[in-house]
Structure 1
Amino acid sequence: MFDARIRPLIDPLLNRLGLTLANAGVGPIFVTLVGFAMGMGAAVAIAAGYFLLGFVLIAFNRIADGLDGAVARATRKTDLGGYLDITLDFVFYGVIPLAFALQDPAANALPAAALLCSFYANGSAFLAFAIMAERRGLSTDRQGQKSLYYLGGLAEGTETIALFLLMALLPDWFPVLAWAFAAVCFVSAGARVMIGVKSLDR
């Protein structure tokens, strides 16, 4: 919901940093992989109960996720880079709730399962529409320049990042936050399906 508003604010800084990294010989896929490693580190830290470390690593993961695209724009965007970016993002979004479930199964397993199910529904609507949009030659840059058609919704990257950071700061509130955000994601998925049906039925 907030991605389209946030992008104009952060893109200029990301683009400057991306150009600096590109000039230093750093490639976008390297940035993607480093960011992914930080995300996996965040999951391990959370599962072990080191929530503050998890918070920091989540933040660095998301910074890297913005920087890889900026480096690609400063050099050359590739299908491989776009594929790795979206795939590893989805893995990251899955392992953080799983980490909380592993950290305290009795309290967190069920809300984590509900949250992951909502992510699955939201992601399916998102990716399925992207495939159909590619077939029809549709494009948009409302959420910045992406490797695929980005169909907006109530629950997007900005909201999910804020959720994960809040969960790491307030781990005892994980069940409440997970249930609440799962509800938002299910509504977002439903809205994306309706938008997709309307767009593809033309």
Structure 2
Amino acid sequence: MFDAQIRPMIDPVLNAQGRVLARLGFTANQITLIGLGLGLLACGLIAVEKTLWALLPLLFSRLADGLDGAVARARGGTDFGGYLDITCDFLFYGAVPFAFVVADPAANGLAGAFLLLSFYVNGTSFLGFALLADRHGLKSAARGKKALYFTGGLLEGTETIAFLVLLCLLPQAFAPMAWVFGGLCFLTAASRVLLAWRSFQDKGQ
């Protein structure tokens, strides 16, 4: 919901740092994989109930997720880079609720399964819309220059990162927060389906 408002503030900083990293010889794909490694480290710490310790690698992983695009803009991006980025993002976001389930299956299992289901549906609505947007030649830079078409929604990157931070700060509240956030993910997916229906429905159907 807030990504389009925040991007103009953070993009100049990210782009400056991206140019520095590019001059040092880093590639966008390397930054993507470093970010994934940090994210999975955070998930490992969550799984052994060291959630406060998980905050630092989690936040640095999300910083890397912003910097890989900045490095790509400095060096020249590739389609594979965009593919790798979204694949690593989905792996990380799915690994977080899984880690909380591992930490306490009895308390977190059902809510974690619901949250993962909502991520699955929300991710499908996002990628499906991006595929059709590309077919129809739609472009958008409201959330930064991306390899895929990024639709807006009730929940975007900013809200998801804030949610993950709250989970690490309040792990005992995982189950109620997961039910609420999962429900909002379903609402976000439904809004994308409605937008797709309005944007891509063939005449006469």
Name the TM-score class by shorter chain: over 0.9
Aligned to 2:124: 124
State the TM-score, normalizing by the size of structure 1.
Answer: 0.98
What does residue 23 of structure 1 align with?
A: 23
Equivalence for 2:101: 101
Distance 1:116 1:158 in 2: 19
* Partner Cα separation in structure 2 for residue 21 and residue 184 of structure 1: 36
Answering whether residue 191 of structure 2 is matched by residue 191 of structure 1, we say yes
Runs of 4+ in 1 over 4 A off after TM superposition: none
What amino acid does structure 2 have at the position aligned with 1:44?
G
Cα offset, 1:53, TM superposition: 1.7
Query: Which residue is 1:44 aligned to?
Result: 44
Q: Measure, in 2, the Cα distance between the counterparts of 1:116 and 1:9.
A: 31
Aligned residue identity for 2:5: R
Aligned residue for 1:6?
6
| Cα deviation code 1:132-182 (max 9, x no counterpart) | 111111111111111011111111111111101110011011111111101
| 1:78 alignment counterpart | 78
Shift in Å, 1:201 = 1.8
Displacement of 1:36 in angstroms is: 0.3
Aligned-partner residue type, residue 54 of structure 1: A
RMSD: 0.8
Q: Distance in 2 between matches of 1:55 and 1:117?
A: 24
The answer to whether residue 161 in structure 2 is matched with residue 149 in structure 1 is: no
In the alignment, which residue of structure 1 is the partner of 2:172? 172
Map Cα deviations across residues 90-110 of structure 1 (whole Å, 9 max, x no partner). Answer: 010100000000000011111
CA shift for structure 1 position 193: 0.4
How far 1:80 sits from its partner (Å)? 1.0
Partners of 2:192 and 2:80 in 1: CA distance = 26
* DSSP-derived class of the 1:17 partner: helix
Distance 1:114 1:22 in 2: 40
Q: What whole-Å deviation, never above 9, does each CA across 1:106-137 have from its counterpart, x for those lacking one?
A: 11111111111111111111100111111111
The TM-score normalised by the length of structure 2 is: 0.97
Distance 1:161 1:112 in 2: 17
How big is each residue's C-alpha offset from its partner over 1:16-45, in whole Å with a ceiling of 9 and x where there is no partner? 100110111111110000000001111111
Q: Displacement of 1:52 after TM fit?
A: 1.3
How many angstroms apart in 2 are the aligned matches of 1:9 and 1:16?
Answer: 12
Match of 2:112 in 1: 112
Aligned length: 202
Partner amino acid, structure 1, of 2:159: E
Q: Which residue of 1 aligns with 2:90?
A: 90
The whole-number CA distance in structure 1 between the counterparts of 2:68 and 2:89 is 12
Q: Which residue of 1 aligns with 2:181?
A: 181
CA distance in 1, matches of 2:156, 2:117: 15
Distance of 2:9 and 2:108 partners within structure 1: 35
Amino acid at match of 2:199: S
